[in-house]
Structure 1
Amino acid sequence: MLWVKAVHIIFVVAWFAGLFYLPRLFVYHTDTHDDAGHQRFALMERKLYGLMTIAMIGTWVMGIAMIAMLPGYLHLGWLHAKLTLVILLTGYQGFLKMHLRKFASKTNTKSARYWRLMNEVPAVLLIAIVILVVVKPF
Structure 2
Amino acid sequence: MTYLFLKAFHLIAMVAWYAGLFYLPRLFVYHVQAEDQISRERFEVMERRLFRGIMTPAMVLTLLLGIAMLWWHPFWLQTGWMHAKLALVVLLVIYQHVCLFHMKQLARGTNRRSHVYFRWFNEVPLIPLIAIVLLAVLKPF
TM-score normalised by length of structure 1: 0.99
Number of the residue aligned with 1:55: 58
Residues 80-91 of structure 1 correspond to what in structure 2 (within 5 A)?
80-91=83-94
Number of the residue aligned with 1:12: 14
Residues 1-138 of structure 1 correspond to what in structure 2 (within 5 A)?
1-50=3-52, 51-138=54-141
The Cα of 1:40 is off from its aligned counterpart by 0.2
Q: How many equivalent residue pairs?
A: 138
Which residue identity is paired with 2:139?
Answer: K
Which residue identity is paired with 2:127?
Answer: V
Identity %: 52
What is the SS of the residue equivalent to 2:111? coil
The Cα of 1:89 is off from its aligned counterpart by 0.1
The Cα of 1:135 is off from its aligned counterpart by 1.2
The Cα of 1:104 is off from its aligned counterpart by 0.7
What is the SS of the residue equivalent to 1:137? coil
Structure 1 stretches of at least 4 aligned residues deviating more than 3 Å after TM superposition: none
Structure 2: gaps (5+ residues): none
The Cα of 1:137 is off from its aligned counterpart by 1.2
TM-score normalised by length of structure 2: 0.96
Which residue identity is paired with 2:105?
Answer: K
Aligned counterparts of 2:127 and 2:19: Cα–Cα separation in 1: 14
Which residue identity is paired with 1:94?
Answer: H
